[in-house]
Amino acid sequence: MGLRSYILTRILLTIPTLLLLLSAVFIVMRVLPGDPVALHFEKRATPETMEAMRRVLGMDKPLWMQYVDYLSGLVDIPYLFEHGYPNLGKSMQTFEDVGGQIFSAFPATLELAIYSTLIATLIGIVLGVISSKHYHSIIDHLIRGFGTVTYAIPIFFLGIIFQLIFGVYLRWLPTGLRLSPTVSPPTGLNIGGIHIATGLYTIDSLLEGNIFKFFECVKALLLPSLTLGLILSGIFIRLTRTNMLETLRLDFVTAAKARGLNESTITYGYALRNAFLPVLTMMGMQFAILLGGAILTETTFSWPGLGRYIVDRINFRDYTAIQGAIVMFGLFVTLVSLAVDILYAYLDPRIRY
């Protein structure tokens, strides 16, 4: 088939997948008990006011029409260019643009996801390689034990222990939020008329040239990403270890050893490179999952990201917002897995479709 046709097929396949996802979300939302209209009123719920609110929320139209409106909003390209985010409707609870809300919550989740995945992968690869090299020794058992145990810890449990140790007893790090109260958020690069801001506080503060802010951001980011990273590292340890072990048993390694190449060249130059691909796939998948918002971490650390957003919206039965969030998440996961698959196919000459 060739790489190009493979990519094309995959891209084409994502469309029906996404469509299925959207429809499923739409249906699920309508089945949820709890009326978003009623949530707007405490006392004064006369039939006229309920009707009026229903009209405002677009809920007076028949279901199929709401579905069509919803889908047509998604492919509204002019809106996308005007606002920078797709038309996902208006929140049923606050009437703000859902797209705007999601994209304002997104950078926080993105930042957390990036650093957590990096930490998890780093710890995972390093420990996995060490573990595989000392196969069946004490170090191996300890590392494997560590990997297994960290995955079994509830994330909020670890999170609050860290908060208590580093935030309350030692007072080294803040206990929550992206930034301490008296520091204003970084604004990014501002030279002449050029304005670049990524929304990622760490990068923006560097762009701004404010080292003090950068350290404040890192301090706030440290606990949540460390917690998440530690918990997730178990997967990477196991994966790296297994793949390294497999690769180290392959013939070409024995051949390299026979030829007299030294240990580290074999480990890092040959074995790790081959073992790395599955790790890359897993990295991509984990990252995509984290983009959906690590709900428990965000709640524990008051991190204003997508996870908390989704949970709030579910409480308010904010159909449009939940739909929008899940759709965006589905999009991320699909895109990331597509990118990872393509990268994999590109890097691994053994795979030809």
Partner 1 sequence: MSKIRSKLNVLKHFISEFTSLTKRGPSGWMVIIGVIIVLAIVLMTLLSPWISPHNPAATNVGPIRAPPSAEFPLGTNHLGQDMLSRILCGGSIMLQVSALSVLVCFLIGVPLGLFSSYVGGNVDKVISLIIDAVYAFPGLVIAIAIAAMLGPGVINMALSIAVVYIPSYFRIVRSQVLSIKELSYVEAAKAIGAKWHTILSRYIFPNVVPSIVVIATINFADAVLTAAGLTFIGLGISKAIPDWGWDLYDGWRYLSSGAWWIITFPGLMIILIALGFTMIGEGLSELLNPKLQH
Partner 2 sequence: MNKIDLTIAVLVLIAIIISSSTLVYTTTVMSNVSTLTSDVSTLTTSVGNLTSTIGTLTTIVGDLAEKVGGYSEAIANLTARLAAIEAALAAREKETLIVGTTDSVELTLDPAQAYDYFGWCILQQIGGTLVAVKPGSTTGADFVPELAESWNASADLDVWDFTLRQGIKFPDGTEFNATHVKYSFDRAIGLIPSIPEGAPAGLGYDAIINRTEVLGTYKVRFYLNFPFSPFLGILACRASTIVNPKYAPMAQVNYTAGDPRASTPVAFVGPYYLAKWDRVAGRDIEIRLDANPYYWNATSEYPKTEHVIFKFYSDPSTLRLAVEAGDVDMAFRHISATDVLDLQTNPNVKVWWGTGAFIQYLCFQEKYAPFNDTRVRVAVTAALNRSALCNTVFLGLADPLYSIIPPGMLGHTEAFKKLGDANYTLTRSLLAEAGYDESNPLTFDLWYESSGHYPSSADQAVVIKEALEASGVIHVNLKSADWASYKKNRDDEIMQAYIYGWYPDYVDPDDYAFLYWAKWIHTNYDKVNPDKYNQQVDLYNQARATTNTTLRAELYAQIDDIAVEMCSVVPLYVSSAWAVTKPNIYGIYLDITQDMRYWLIYIGE
Q: φ, ψ for residue 41 (rounded to 5)?
A: -120, 140
Nearer Cβ to partner 2, position 206 or 311? 311
Q: Decide: 291 and 329 in contact? Cβ < 8 Å.
A: yes
Q: Decide: 67 and 26 in contact? Cβ < 8 Å.
A: yes
Nearer Cβ to partner 1, position 44 or 136? 136
CA dist 203 → 169, 189, 200, 207, 211 (Å): 30, 10, 6, 6, 11
Burial of residue 235 (CB within 10 Å: 0-12, 13-18, 19+) is: buried
Nearer Cβ to partner 2, position 125 or 291? 291
Amino acid at site 279: V
**x/- site string to partner 2, residues 81 to 100, per CB under 8 A?**
----------x-xxxx----
**x/- site string to partner 1, residues 170 to 209, per CB under 8 A?**
----------------------------------------
Nearest approach, Cβ of residue 130 and partner 2 (Å): 29
- Report 319-338 residues binding partner 2 (CB under 8 A): 321
161 touches partner 2 by CB under 8 A:
no
What is the distance between the alpha carbons of residues 319 and 333, in angstroms, rounded to a whole number? Answer: 21
Residue 333 interacts with, from partner 2, partner 1, none (CB under 5-8 Å by kind): partner 1
What is the distance between the alpha carbons of residues 322 and 88, in angstroms, rounded to a whole number? Answer: 10
> Alpha helices, DSSP H only, in 262-305?
263-264, 272-291, 295-300
56 touches partner 2 by CB under 8 A:
yes
163 touches partner 2 by CB under 8 A:
yes
Query: What tokens were used for 152?
Result: 């079994």
**x/- site string to partner 1, residues 212 to 231, per CB under 8 A?**
--------------------
Q: φ, ψ for residue 195 (rounded to 5)?
A: -130, 115
Residue 141 interacts with, from partner 2, partner 1, none (CB under 5-8 Å by kind): partner 1
Residues of the shown chain interacting with partner 2 in the complex, contacts defined by CB under 8 A:
33-36, 38-46, 48-49, 51-53, 55-56, 91, 93-96, 101-102, 104-105, 108, 160, 163-164, 167-168, 171, 174-177, 180-182, 185, 298-302, 304-306, 308-309, 312-313, 315-318, 321
